[in-house]
A and B are shown apart, each in its own frame.
Chain A
Amino acid sequence: MVAMAPAVSREKIAARINSIKYGAPADLSPKLDHLRRLREELMAADSLLVVELVSPLLDLLSDRLSPVRKFTTRMIGEIGLKHLQLLPEIIPALVNVLKDDTPAVARQAISCGFDIFRYSLVNVAIQGLYSSEFDDSLRSSWAWVSKFRDEICSMAFKEESEGRKLPALKFVESIVLLYTPDPNGSLEPPSDKNFQGNFEEFNVSWLRGGHPLLNVRDLSAEASQSLGLLLDQLRSPSLKSHSYLVIIVLIKSLSAVARKRPAFYGRILPVLLGLDPSSSVTSVSKGMHLAGVHHALKNAFESCLNCTHPGAAPSLWRDRLVNALKEIKVGKSVAQAANDMPENNGRTEWTRDSDISQILEDEKPSIKSLMEHGNTGRKRTGGLVTVDATEDDNSGKRARSTPGDLDGPGNERNQGQDRVPSSGTTPFSDVDSGPVQQLVAMFAALVAQGEKAAASLEILISSISADLLAEVVMANIWNFPPERLKSEGDEEPLTSAAAHTEMQNLEEEPPVTLAGGNVAHDDLSNTREHTAVPASESVCSGDISYPMETGYAVITSEVTDIEGRENEIPGLSSATEGDGLTENMDTIPKGSVHSDDANQEKSSNLGGISIETDRTPTELAQSLSTDRSEELSPKAATTDVSSLNSSTATSVGLASQLVLPKIGAPVIHLADEQKDQLQQLAFVRIVDAYKHVAVAGGSQVRLSVLAHTGLEFPSELDPWKSLQAHVLSDYVNHEGHELTSRVLYRLFGEAEEDRDFFISATAKSVYEAFLLQVAETLRDSFPASDKSLSRLLGEAPYLPKSVFEMLECLCSPSAGAISEKELPGGDRVTQGLSAIWSLILLRPPIRDACLQIALKSAVHQLEEVRMKAIRLVANKLYPLSTISGRIEDFAKDMLLSVVTDDGISTKEANELQKDENPSSENQPGSSATKEIPPDGHHMTASESSSSFTVVEVQRCMALYFALCTKKHSLFRQIFYAYKDTSKVAKQVVHQQIPLLVRTIGPSSDLLDILSDPPIGSEGLAIQVVNTLTDGTVPSPNLVSTIKRLYDTKLKDIDILVPVLPFLSKDEVSVLFPHLVNVPLDKFQVVLPRLLQGFNHSTPVLTPAEALIAIHKIDPEKDGITDACNACFEQRHTFSQQVLAKVLNQLVEQIPLPFLFMRTVLQAIGAFPSLIWKNPRQWVGFVKCAHVTMPDSFGVLLQLPAAQLENSLNRIPALKAPLVEHASQPNIRSTLPRSTLTVLGLEQELPTSTTQPNQSQTQTEEADNSEKTAATEKSKESM
C-alpha cells in the first residue's frame, strides 16, 4: 500500500492471466504461482489498468481447479475492496461464485462479500455524513453490495450445505451487529471524513442524525428481521433439520449478539432458554453430540450472566439463566452416565458437577428464595457467577498483600484492572471448581439474611455431602477479607481480643486457625507462582507470616484467628449448624460482650460484609478498608482494657516466650526452615484441637476438612505424620477409621486426578505410607479379635503392595517370629486370615493377591498356622466358585511337588501325570506354586536327604486332603500321585487316609475312583476299602464295586478281604481257592472273617463248610495244607463236633479228598478224644498202624504214652520193631521219657531238638499220604 512497486505493464499481466487460463489444466502449483504473482502485480497496478483487466480475471472464476477459483475469488474481492467503482462488475461474478460446487470457494466468496459489505457500509455511511451528495457510482455500487448481502443472507436460511451455510450465518450475525447501535461504542462519528475501513469502530448510531442513503430505522428493522430469522432457526420446525454444528454456530452467534447488543436480551434469551436440543434433534442416535451443544449453551448462558449492562436487565433473566445452567449440568452428568465412557469415568470434575447439581435440584425451594432475596441487590447476585471466583481471589490476595496501598485504594483498583480479563489460568482458578463457588455464594447469601434463612441453611447443609462441605469451607478460605493487614497498627489490642474470644469459642478454633495458617501459606506460594508480581508485593506478602515466627507468633496468629473468625463465622456456623446453629451464632455476641457496642454491631454485620467481599472485590475491598479501619480502632481500644488478663493467660499457654514489644514495622524475614516449622506447628495445633472438639459433633465435615487441609499443606513438611499420630493415638475415640478413610480417599483422589506426574506420584506414596502405618499400628496395638484392621482394609480406596506384604507376614509368620513370641501369632494369624477372607469377599479385583496369601499360609510350616489357613481355605474360600479353581490348582501343585521332587525320575512321573490327567497341566495356577517349591527345596536341602521329611510332606499335602473332603473327585489325584511317591510320602498318605476316608464316606466319587484305581495305587485302594468297611456295614454299592474291581483289574485278594463277610456264599465259594492261596498270615485273617460274619450276623460259611471247601480245592495248589493247619489251629471254631462232622462228610465223598487222611490224622492230633475215646475207631487206627509198619512208627511214637501202651498191648507184634526203630540213637533222642518208658528203653534224658525227627519225617513224606499226615501230626504235637 505504501511502497508501490513500479507500474507493471498491461501486457505482462494479460499474458499472465492467459497463461493461467490456458495452462495445463491439471497443473495446480504453477497456476497458483502465477496467481500469486498476478496478485502482487495487480495490487501495485493503478486502477485504470485494473479496470481493464477485471473481465479476463473474472474468466478465471470458471477454472477447473477449485484452488484457482478460490484464489481468484479472493483476488477479485480484494480488487473490489480497493476499487469500489468496479463492484457492479465484480459482484455478479461473486454471486455466481456463491453457488460454486466447492464449498471452500463459496466460502471465500462470502468472506469477500463480508469484507466488501462492511467496507462499503462504512464508506457509504461516512460519505453520507459529510456530504449530502453521492456520486452515482457509489450509489450503484451500494445497490450491488446490498444485493450481494441479500444473496448471502438468503443462503443462511436456505437448505444449504453446512460449508456454505455456516459462514452465511456468521455473515447475518455481523449484519445484525452492524445495523444496530453499539451501546459501548462511541456515539459520535469520527471527525475525519477519510475515516475508512476501520469498521471495528463503526457504530450505526452515528447515522441517527440522518443519512441520504441509510436510514437508521430501516437498518434496525432489517437487523431485527434478520435476527428473527436467526431465532427461527432455533425454533421448533427448522431446528430439527439442522446439524449440531449449525445449532452450535447459531447459539454462539445469538449469544454474541445478545452480549454485544443487550437490547436483544428479551428476544434472544427466551429462545435460547427454551432450546431443548435433546428432544428436538433430527435423530435420537445423534444424542452423543449433545455435549457440544450443551457446552455452547452453557457458555452462552454464562456470558449472558456476566453481562452487567443495564440495558440487558440481567436481573430479569438471572433466575432463568441460573436454572438453565443447572439443568445443563444435570443433563450433562446424565448423558455422561448413559454414555458410560470409561475413559472419562475417573474425572472428578464431572462427578463433582453432577453431585452439586443433584443437590441443587434437591434444594430448589431454598435456592429460589435465595435468588429472590439476592435479586434485590445487584452485588449479592453477582456471586452466583462462577467466573467471579478467580477475580475475587486475585483482588483479594492483592489487597491483602499490599498494606502500602492502605491510603490509596484507587491505586489498588488500578492494579486490579491491570489484569487481562482472559488471562487464562491463574494458579488458583485451577483449584476453584465452579459448583463449590456457587455453593459458597449461596451460603453467603443465606447467612446474610440472618435468622430468617436459618431453616433453609439447615436444609442446605444437611443435604450436602461432608466432602463437598469441606470443599466449600476450603474454598471459602480464599475469601478471607483483604483488610487484615490494615489493622496492623492495632495489633496488640487485637491480639488480646482474639485470645479472649478464642477461649470462649474454643470449639470453633480449629477451622479458624487452620484458615489462618493456610492463608499465610497461600500467600507464600502465591508469590512463588506469580513470578511476574512486583518485588514489593512479595515482600509484603511476607508480612503476613513472618511476624508469626520470632516470638510474635502468637500475636499474628491470633490476628489471623480473629480475622478469620469474623469473616468465617457465616460459613462456619453454617458448617456446624447441623449440631446447633444457634449455639454458634450465640457465641459471637458473647465473645464480644467485653467490647463496646460498635464491636457487637460489627460482628452482627459480618455476614453481610463477607458476602460482599465475595462478589465485587475491587469495589468492596475499597469500601471495606475504610469501613473496617474505622470500626476496628475503637473496638480495639476497648477490648484492650477489658481483656488484658485473659490474653496474657492464653498467650502464655500457647507460646512459652511471649514478648510484646511495640512493633514499628513488623516485617521480619524468616529462614525457610523457620517458615516450615511455623507451618508445622500450625498444623499440629489444628490436629491437636480436634481432640477437644469431638464432643461438638459434626465430625463428618470436620474430618473432611482435616483431610483436605493435609493435602493443601506442603508435602515436605509431612502433615501426614502428625495426622497419623493423631489418628493412632486413640483410634477409637478420635474417629480414627473415619478420618483415615477420608484422608485416604482424598489422597487417592489426588493421585487419580493425575494433574501432573509429580503430584499424583507424591499423593500415591503418601497414601501408601499412611495406609500401611495405620494398618500396622492397628495390627500391633489392638487385640487380635478387633475388626478395625479388616474394616480399614475393606474400605480403603485401594491396597498397595506394602499392605499385601504386611498381610502376608501376618498370615504366614516367619518361624523366628513365632518362636520368639511363644506363639501369640495364633490369634494374629486368625486376624490376618479373617482380614484376607473379608477382602476376598469384598474386593474382587484383589482377590487373587489375597488368595495367594491365604494359600501360602495354608502350606505354612507351623501346623497351627497351617491348620487355621486350611480351615479358611477349605471351608470358606473353596466354596466360592470364582476361586475354587485356583485353590484346587495350588493344592494339586503342592501335592505333586512332594511327589515329583522325590528322588525318583521326576520327569517320568510328570509325563505320566500328563498322560493320565491332561487337564491338570493345562489349568492356570501353576504360577501359584512358583513361590512355594523353592520353600520346599529349601527344606529338603536342610534335611540333607533327597526326600522330604514326614512333616514336610504333611505340610504340602494337608491342604489337598482338606479339599478332598469338600470335593471328593479330587481324591483321584491322590491315587495318581501315590504310585510315584516316596516311602515317606506314602506313609503320610496312609496316616491321613483313614481320617479322610471316614470324612468322605463311600461317596459315589470315591466309588468311581475305586472302581478304576490307577496302576500302582493298589495299596492305597486297599487301605481305603479297609477304612471304609471298618466298623460299619458297607453299602451294597461298595461291595459290588470292590467285587467288580477284583474281578476285572486288581487280582489282589487283599482288596476283597474287608468285604468278604458281606459276599454271598456262592461268591465266596468261587473265590475260596484264591483265598487259600494267600500267604498263611493273611489267610489267618481271612478265615475268621469268613466264619464269624459281621457283628455276629449269619456267617458266610460255617467252619465245617470252610474246611470242606478247602478239601475241594485242587490239591496241586500250594497252601492248602497251610490252610488246613490254620483251621486246625483255631480249635474253638473248629471244634471237635465240627471236625467230626467234616470227617463224616468227607468220608462220603468219592473219591476221597486228597487230604482226607491227613485231616484225619490232624483231627486225631487235635482232638485225640475223637478217636481214643471211641474204641472202635481206636482199634481201626491201631490196625492201620500195624499194617503200615514200619512207616507208621513215627506216628505211633507220637502218641501219648498211655495210648502207645494201649496200642502195643493190643497188637504186641508192633512192639519189637517199634523198639528197634526207636532205639536208633537219632530217634531215641527225640522221644519223651514217658514214651521210652513204655517202650522199655528208659534211660537218660532226651537231649534236645526236633530237628532230626523232622528231617526223618520229611524223608518219609514222599512215600504216601498217610505218612505225610503222620509227619504233620508230629509237627503239630511238637
Chain B
Amino acid sequence: MGRPVLDNETWHFKLKSLREEISELSDRSEMKLRHAMVCSSNQNRSMEAHWLLKREGFDVASYGTGQHVKLPGPSLREPNVYDFGTPYKQMFDDLRRKDPELYRRNGILPMLKRNLSVKTAPQRWQENAADGTFDVVLTFEEKVFDMVLEDLHNRKHVLLKPVLVINLEVKDNHEEAAIGGRLALQLCQEIEAAGNWEECVDDLIMNFERQNHRKLVYSISYY
C-alpha cells in the first residue's frame, strides 16, 4: 500500500488544487457562475447554446455525453463517427472533401464552421473532471440529463459544491437548436441574475416554464 497510495494521493491533491484553481478563477469576477451546455455529440444543441452564451459574455463550456461524436452521413446506417477531441476543423475538412454539396445542404458544414469559431474540438462530459466545477449544467435531452447526473453521482464528492443540472428538451435539428439556444441563454441569465439560485430555483424554473411553455426537469448534484 506504500507507493501507489502515495501516488494516488498526490494525484488527488493535484487534481483538487487544479479544480480549486479553476473555481477560484470564477470567484475572481464576483462569483460568476460557470455553465456547461451538454448534449450528446457536442455539435448542434450544446454548441449553439455555447456560442450564444459565450457571445453574451458568460463563463461557459460545452460537452457531449455520447461515446462518439456522430454526424449524419450519406445514409441512415453510415453516420460519420469521430472521437471526442477531433477538432471541428478536421471534421469540416473531412466532410467537405467527402460530399460538400450534401453536407452544405443539410447544414452540417455551416454548423461545423460555427463550432470551430467557438472552440477547437468536441469534449466529452465524462472526461471533463479536469475542467473544474460548474455551477449550472444545462442538458438538452433527458438521456443526456440522466447521464450527467449519473456521472456526477459517480464522482467523488469532495468539495460539497452544489451543481444545478437542468434538462431543457430540444430536438436535434438546426431550427430547434437555435430556439433552444436562446432559451438556454435566457435561463442562464435568469439564474445568474438571481444570485443565489439555491434560494429561488423552484420559482425561477416555474416562471421560466410558464413563460416559454417548456417543461424543465432539474436536479442537483455535488462536486
Residues on A lying within 8 angstroms of B by beta carbon are: 1-2, 28-29, 32, 36, 66-67, 70-71, 74, 103-104, 107, 110-111, 114-115, 161-163, 166-167, 170-171, 174, 190-192, 195, 197-198, 200, 243-245, 248-249, 252, 256, 285-286, 288-289, 291-292, 295-296, 299, 336, 339, 341-344, 346-347, 349, 422-427, 525, 528-529, 531, 714-716, 754-762
Task: Determine whether B182 belongs to the interface, using a CB cutoff of 8 Å to chain A.
Answer: no
Q: Are B75 and A716 in contact (CB under 8 A)?
A: yes
A200 with B27: in contact, given A424-B67, A758-B106 (CB under 8 Å)?
Answer: no
Give 20 pairs: A residue, B residue, CB < 8 Å, sorted on A: A36-B24, A107-B161, A166-B162, A170-B222, A190-B1, A190-B5, A192-B5, A195-B5, A248-B218, A336-B215, A344-B215, A427-B67, A525-B77, A754-B173, A754-B176, A756-B70, A757-B108, A757-B174, A758-B72, A760-B173
A245 with B201: in contact, given A252-B221, A757-B107 (CB under 8 Å)?
Answer: yes
Which residue of B142, B153, B157 contacts A174 across the interface (Cβ within 8 Å)? Answer: B157
Q: Are A114 and B76 in contact (CB under 8 A)?
A: no
A32 to chain B: which residues have CB within 8 Å? 27-28
Rounded to whole angstroms, the CA-CA distance of A288 and B215 in the bound complex is 8
- Flag B167-196 by CB within 8 Å of A: 1 or 0 each: 001011110100000000000000000001
Q: Are A716 and B77 in contact (CB under 8 A)?
A: yes
Rounded to whole angstroms, the CA-CA distance of A758 and B106 in the bound complex is 8
A757 with B72: in contact, given A1-B13, A163-B198 (CB under 8 Å)?
Answer: yes
In the complex, what's the smallest C-beta–C-beta distance from B30 to chain A, in angstroms? Answer: 6
B150 to chain A: which residues have CB within 8 Å? 299, 422
Rounded to whole angstroms, the CA-CA distance of A1211 and B211 in the bound complex is 121
Q: Are A299 and B1 in contact (CB under 8 A)?
A: no
Q: Which residue of B lies closest to A427 (CB)?
A: B67
Which residue of B106, B169, B213 contacts A757 across the interface (Cβ within 8 Å)? Answer: B106
A424 with B126: in contact, given A198-B9, A292-B217 (CB under 8 Å)?
Answer: yes
A336 to chain B: which residues have CB within 8 Å? 215
Closest CB pairs A-B (n = 10): A758-B72, A162-B198, A163-B198, A715-B76, A291-B217, A341-B215, A111-B160, A754-B171, A163-B196, A167-B160
A166 to chain B: which residues have CB within 8 Å? 162, 198, 220
Q: Are B217 and A424 in contact (CB under 8 A)?
A: no
Q: Are A292 and B160 in contact (CB under 8 A)?
A: no
Given contacts A343-B213, A343-B214, 7 further A-B contacts (CB under 8 A): A67-B30, A111-B159, A161-B196, A190-B5, A192-B2, A422-B151, A425-B65
In the complex, what's the smallest C-beta–C-beta distance from A340 to chain B, in angstroms? Answer: 9
A291 with B72: in contact, given A1-B13, A71-B27, A423-B67 (CB under 8 Å)?
Answer: no
Q: Which residue of B lies closest to A104 (CB)?
A: B31
Task: Determine whether B219 belongs to the interface, using a CB cutoff of 8 Å to chain A.
Answer: yes
In the complex, what's the smallest C-beta–C-beta distance from A717 to chain B, in angstroms? Answer: 10
A299 with B149: in contact, given A166-B198, A286-B202 (CB under 8 Å)?
Answer: yes
Rounded to whole angstroms, the CA-CA distance of A343 and B140 in the bound complex is 13
Task: Determine whether B146 belongs to the interface, using a CB cutoff of 8 Å to chain A.
Answer: yes
Rounded to whole angstroms, the CA-CA distance of A425 and B125 in the bound complex is 12
Q: Are A103 and B70 in contact (CB under 8 A)?
A: no
A426 to chain B: which residues have CB within 8 Å? 67
A291 to chain B: which residues have CB within 8 Å? 215-217
Q: Which residue of B lies closest to A755 (CB)?
A: B172
Task: Determine whether B122 belongs to the interface, using a CB cutoff of 8 Å to chain A.
Answer: no
Task: Determine whether B117 belongs to the interface, using a CB cutoff of 8 Å to chain A.
Answer: no
Q: Are A171 and B199 in contact (CB under 8 A)?
A: no
In the complex, what's the smallest C-beta–C-beta distance from B99 to chain A, in angstroms? Answer: 12
Task: Determine whether B73 belongs to the interface, using a CB cutoff of 8 Å to chain A.
Answer: yes
Q: Tell me which of B8, B27, B126, B147 has the highest count of chain A C-beta atoms within 10 A of its own C-beta.
A: B27
A715 with B75: in contact, given A110-B160, A289-B205, A292-B218 (CB under 8 Å)?
Answer: yes
B72 to chain A: which residues have CB within 8 Å? 756-759
Rounded to whole angstroms, the CA-CA distance of A531 and B82 in the bound complex is 10
> Chain B interface secondary structure, helix, strand, loop or mixed?
mixed
Taking CB atoms and an 8 Å cut-off, the chain B residues in 196-212 that contact chain A are: 196, 198-199, 201-202, 205-206, 209-210
Q: Are B5 and A244 in contact (CB under 8 A)?
A: no
B114 to chain A: which residues have CB within 8 Å? none
A66 to chain B: which residues have CB within 8 Å? 31
B129 to chain A: which residues have CB within 8 Å? none
Rounded to whole angstroms, the CA-CA distance of A451 and B139 in the bound complex is 48
Which residue of B66, B172, B173, B220 contacts A245 across the interface (Cβ within 8 Å)? Answer: B220
B108 to chain A: which residues have CB within 8 Å? 757
Q: Are B157 and A170 in contact (CB under 8 A)?
A: yes
Q: Are B65 and A756 in contact (CB under 8 A)?
A: no
The number of residues on chain B lying at the interface, defined by a beta carbon within 8 Å of a beta carbon of chain A, is 73
Q: Are A167 and B214 in contact (CB under 8 A)?
A: no
Q: Tell me which of B9, B79, B176, B220 has the highest count of chain A C-beta atoms within 10 A of its own C-beta.
A: B220
A243 to chain B: which residues have CB within 8 Å? 201-202
Rounded to whole angstroms, the CA-CA distance of A249 and B201 in the bound complex is 13
Q: Are A762 and B198 in contact (CB under 8 A)?
A: no
Q: Are B162 and A103 in contact (CB under 8 A)?
A: no
In the complex, what's the smallest C-beta–C-beta distance from A215 to chain B, in angstroms? Answer: 26
In the complex, what's the smallest C-beta–C-beta distance from A434 to chain B, in angstroms? Answer: 11
A531 to chain B: which residues have CB within 8 Å? 68, 81
B76 to chain A: which residues have CB within 8 Å? 714-715, 758-759, 762
B126 to chain A: which residues have CB within 8 Å? 422, 424
Q: Which residue of B lies closest to A343 (CB)?
A: B214
Q: Are B220 and A248 in contact (CB under 8 A)?
A: yes
Rounded to whole angstroms, the CA-CA distance of A198 and B31 in the bound complex is 30
Which residue of B28, B146, B169 contacts A347 across the interface (Cβ within 8 Å)? Answer: B169
Q: Are B30 and A28 in contact (CB under 8 A)?
A: yes
Which residue of A115, A191, A197, A244 contacts B202 across the interface (Cβ within 8 Å)? Answer: A244
Q: Are A714 and B220 in contact (CB under 8 A)?
A: no
Task: Determine whether B97 belongs to the interface, using a CB cutoff of 8 Å to chain A.
Answer: no
Q: Are A344 and B169 in contact (CB under 8 A)?
A: yes
Rounded to whole angstroms, the CA-CA distance of A111 and B24 in the bound complex is 14
A174 to chain B: which residues have CB within 8 Å? 157, 160
Taking CB atoms and an 8 Å cut-off, the chain B residues in 124-164 that contact chain A are: 126, 142-143, 145-147, 149-151, 153-154, 156-162
Rounded to whole angstroms, the CA-CA distance of A525 and B202 in the bound complex is 44
A28 to chain B: which residues have CB within 8 Å? 30
In the complex, what's the smallest C-beta–C-beta distance from B166 to chain A, in angstroms? Answer: 9
Rounded to whole angstroms, the CA-CA distance of A285 and B210 in the bound complex is 11
Q: Are B215 and A161 in contact (CB under 8 A)?
A: no
Task: Determine whether B40 belongs to the interface, using a CB cutoff of 8 Å to chain A.
Answer: yes
In the complex, what's the smallest C-beta–C-beta distance from A497 to chain B, in angstroms? Answer: 33
Which residue of B81, B172, B198 contacts A756 across the interface (Cβ within 8 Å)? Answer: B172
Q: Are B198 and A198 in contact (CB under 8 A)?
A: no
Rounded to whole angstroms, the CA-CA distance of A252 and B219 in the bound complex is 9
A716 to chain B: which residues have CB within 8 Å? 75, 77
In the complex, what's the smallest C-beta–C-beta distance from A1006 to chain B, in angstroms? Answer: 52
In the complex, what's the smallest C-beta–C-beta distance from B12 to chain A, in angstroms? Answer: 8
B145 to chain A: which residues have CB within 8 Å? 295
In the complex, what's the smallest C-beta–C-beta distance from A1039 to chain B, in angstroms? Answer: 64
Q: Are B199 and A191 in contact (CB under 8 A)?
A: no
Q: Which residue of A lies closest to B82 (CB)?
A: A531
In the complex, what's the smallest C-beta–C-beta distance from B119 to chain A, in angstroms? Answer: 21
A341 to chain B: which residues have CB within 8 Å? 209, 213-215
Q: Which residue of A lies closest to B212 (CB)?
A: A343
In the complex, what's the smallest C-beta–C-beta distance from B95 to chain A, in angstroms? Answer: 12
Rounded to whole angstroms, the CA-CA distance of A110 and B161 in the bound complex is 10
Which residue of A162, A424, A759 contacts B66 across the interface (Cβ within 8 Å)? Answer: A424
In the complex, what's the smallest C-beta–C-beta distance from B212 to chain A, in angstroms? Answer: 9
A425 to chain B: which residues have CB within 8 Å? 40, 65-67, 143, 147
Rounded to whole angstroms, the CA-CA distance of A114 and B157 in the bound complex is 11
Q: Which residue of B lies closest to A715 (CB)?
A: B76
A67 with B160: in contact, given A195-B5, A299-B146, A343-B169 (CB under 8 Å)?
Answer: no
Which residue of A110, A252, A529, A761 contacts B106 across the interface (Cβ within 8 Å)? Answer: A761
Rounded to whole angstroms, the CA-CA distance of A756 and B219 in the bound complex is 27
Rounded to whole angstroms, the CA-CA distance of A114 and B220 in the bound complex is 19
A163 to chain B: which residues have CB within 8 Å? 196, 198-199
Rounded to whole angstroms, the CA-CA distance of A28 and B28 in the bound complex is 8
A759 to chain B: which residues have CB within 8 Å? 72, 76
